Amino acid sequence: MSFINYASREINCKIVYYGPGLCGKTTNLQFVYQKTAPDAKGKMISLATETERTLFFDFLPLSLGEIRGFKTRFHLYTVPGQVFYDASRKLILKGVDGVVFVADSQEERIDANIESLENLRLNLKEQGYDLDKLPYVVQYNKRDLPGAMSVEELRRELNPTNVPDYEACATTGEGVFETLKAVAKSILVDLKKGK
Amino acid sequence: MSNPQLVMYEEEFQEINDVIGRLLKEANSKVIFLVDKNGQLISGVGETERFDTTSLASLTAGNIAATGGLAKLIGEKEFSILFHEGEKDNLHISIVAGRVILVVLFDSRSSLGLVRLRVKKSSEELASIFEKLMKKSEEKEKRGSSDFPFAEITDDDIDNLFS
């Protein structure tokens, strides 16, 4: 849940990037980190294995600017995508305000995408959240790879509820900020409703 | 939802800072942070400028979450105190009122025993402030009072953030 501090006039929100192993969650955060002005970002933290696989989470704090005198801050987290890190994934979803599901567009990863999406829904439910009620966007990553499925097919499999979705190539940064903006905006709109 | 939204008001913020400010002196510690279990920094006193407080908050929360997961695996509710000993500096991390994390950083000028003793006393005071805070938010919510800063923002306000 977002944290509203009237004393320091700040609103802090938490965004979690979810998806199967090697789909590009960490790459998304790295691109955001590289392209953000130094005064708008904090240090990026990656708790990763020696082979640069996410072990626990990546973390990147961003400030977006002010709305009505309140500083808006977003904390971006990724989860470890590999199946056996499920216990860690559950922990990172605690207190989430918005979710980005990063799908790997390659045909051979479609089953992994579907499994990860089901896992997301289940883990959220365990924490008392409903994915259909959370600010939520989908990103089809790795559009540049030759084995990428068509967006229509991916949409049919991974986005049956028709939430905003974006094509991306996280290594070049294409679609990365569009995805982030969409989820951040959706969180703010939700806050506006004062849920 | 598992955790209601945390809202901090000026009055309670001041009270919290008074308590942790006093703890800082009484425990002879260097820095004290209060962190929400979700990883948001609530407040800090002492030599805070020496540290990346945002990262510290997020890692502390991750640490508490991970040890909480371990606790559940062995049939415990949670481990309410964690202690990390370094060559010079040590961290005493404890859970207050079930939802906030109190982090005390101290060196050889203090001792674990002293920190534990003082933290225990301050935790009770902090717990009652947070209880008051939660009641206050609940009441405001029930009354539907509209001091919520985001109730009146427009779509343009939101768009402007991204321009």
**ipTM (interface predicted TM):** 0.83
Verify whether the Cβ–Cβ distance A70 to B8 is below 8 Å: no
Structural domain boundaries in chain B: 10-145
Q: pLDDT tens for residues A46-103?
A: 999 989 999 999 999 999 888 888 899 999 999 999 999 999 999 999 999 999 999 9
Strand partners, B41: B35
Among B145, B150, B152, B135, smallest CA distance to B4 is for: B135
Give pLDDT, residue B1.
38
pLDDT(A23) > 70: yes
Domain that holds residue A163: 3-192
Contacts of A34 (CB under 8 A, 6+ apart): none
Asked if residue B39 lies in contact with residue A95, where contact means CB atoms within 8 angstroms, the answer is yes
User: Which CATH number characterizes residue A10's domain?
Assistant: 3.40.50.300
Residue ranges of B 68-97 with Cβ closer than 8 A to chain A: 68-69
Look at chain A and report how many structural domains it folds into.
Answer: 1
- Give the DSSP letter of residue A195: -
In chain B, the residue whose alpha carbon lies closest to the alpha carbon of A186 is B158
Residues of B whose CB is below 8 A from A47: 62
Integer CA distances (angstroms), A27 to A31, A54, A56, B160, in order: 6, 11, 15, 26
Strand partners, A137: A100
B36 touching A (Cβ < 8 Å): yes
Verify whether the Cβ–Cβ distance A95 to B55 is below 8 Å: no
Contacts of A122 (CB under 8 A, 6+ apart): none
* CA–CA min distance B99, chain A (Å): 12
Give pLDDT, residue B2.
43
For domain B10-145, the CATH architecture is 2-Layer Sandwich (3.30)
Q: Please tell me the distance from the alpha carbon of residue B147 to that of residue B127, in angstroms, as a whole number.
A: 25
Asked if residue B45 lies in contact with residue B20, where contact means CB atoms within 8 angstroms, the answer is yes
Q: Please tell me the distance from the alpha carbon of residue A89 to that of residue B88, in angstroms, as a whole number.
A: 33
- Average pLDDT along chain B: 90
- Average pLDDT along chain A: 94
B9 touching A (Cβ < 8 Å): yes
Q: pLDDT tens for residues B99-158?
A: 899 999 999 999 999 999 999 999 999 999 999 998 988 887 777 654 666 777 777 887
